[in-house]
Structure 1
Amino acid sequence: MKVWGVVGWKNSGKTGLMERLVTEFTGRGLTVSTVKHAHHVFDVDHPGKDSHRHRQAGATEVLLSSRKRWALMHELREEAEMPLETLLAKLSPVDLVLVEGYKRDQHPKVEAHRAETGNPLIATDDPTVRAIASDSGAAADDRPTFDLNDTVAIADFIAKELGL
């Protein structure tokens, strides 16, 4: 599986870019999965539901299944975050995995950047950021800069870099 990341500071446009890239790549006939890093505790389950009760009782994994989808929840009882590499190994094979976040990992990335956030570019100090998608033309070294909303050009760049 080919892996490409989208990084950026809070409110930089990462999620919107991810969404547009998934649409663009699947429209090109590729299979795509995503991984999203959350800096906060999250739960896809709800207190009182059977699956939540199973987890509260101590189950390590709870698999929910219906006609439309299935979801596997795995409890990290030691509260140690799993490395991206371990998480990627759990995915079914696809043509491309787009990763939102995980900016310290070594996979290639595009940085989403909005001038209004006032944040510096991550790319300045991170060679794994191969391109910048910006609303202001922000640039770093010899890496290409794309308009944040030019999804086709960004997808073309990623596809070329990954040999898709």
Structure 2
Amino acid sequence: MKVYGVVGWKNAGKTGLMERLVAEITGRGYSVSTVKHAHHSFDVDHEGKDSHRHRVAGATEVLLASRNRFALMHELRDEDEPTLEFLLTKIAPVDLILIEGYKRDVHPKVEAHRQEPGNPLIAPDDPTIRAVASDVDLDLDRPVFDLDDTRAIADFILRDVGLDASGP
């Protein structure tokens, strides 16, 4: 499977760019899945629900299923945080996996950058960042796209991973 990341500091526009890229690329006929790294603890379950009760009782994995979706929750208990490489093995085959976060991993990435938060660019010190999507003009040694030019960014990503930008 092809993988491509979207990285950037907090409030750089990563999630909005991810959302637009998924819509753009799936609209071209490609199947896309996403991985989102969270730097904090999170829960997709709710106290009092049966699945939560199973986890609290000690289950290592709880699979919650309905006719619309399923979610597999794996409790890490005393395990280390899983690597991105391991997590990718858990995703069903698709044309492209878009990854939000995991900026230190070695897959190709586009950096989302907004001037307003005042954060420095990651790209100058990271060769895995193949392009930058920004709300200001930048002079870099790699392509710079307007942060809102989703079509051009999608074209670049699809070409970079070896997929036809016009669709399958």
- The TM-score with structure 1 as length reference comes to 0.98
**Residue correspondence of structure 1 range 12-161 to structure 2 within 5 A:** 12-140=12-140, 142-161=141-160
Deviation, structure 1 residue 79: 4.6
Contact 1:131–1:144 (Cα < 8 Å) also in 2:
yes
CA distance in 2, matches of 1:83, 1:40: 16
1:61-97: per-residue Cα shift (whole Å, max 9, x none)?
0000111111100000115210000000100000000
Alignment-mate amino acid for residue 84 of structure 1: L
User: Kindly, what percent of the aligned residue pairs are identical?
Assistant: 75
CA distance in 1, matches of 2:110, 2:158: 12
| SS of residue paired to 2:22 | helix
CA distance in 2, matches of 1:86, 1:150: 32
CA distance in 2, matches of 1:90, 1:161: 24
Deviation, structure 1 residue 139: 3.8
CA distance in 1, matches of 2:122, 2:71: 33
Contact 1:114–1:134 (Cα < 8 Å) also in 2:
yes
Deviation, structure 1 residue 129: 0.3
CA distance in 2, matches of 1:138, 1:54: 51
- The TM-score with structure 2 as length reference comes to 0.96
Count of aligned residue pairs for this structure pair: 163
Moved more, 11-20 or 74-83: 74-83
1:83-131: per-residue Cα shift (whole Å, max 9, x none)?
0000001000000000000000000000000000101100010000000
Alignment-mate amino acid for residue 60 of structure 1: T
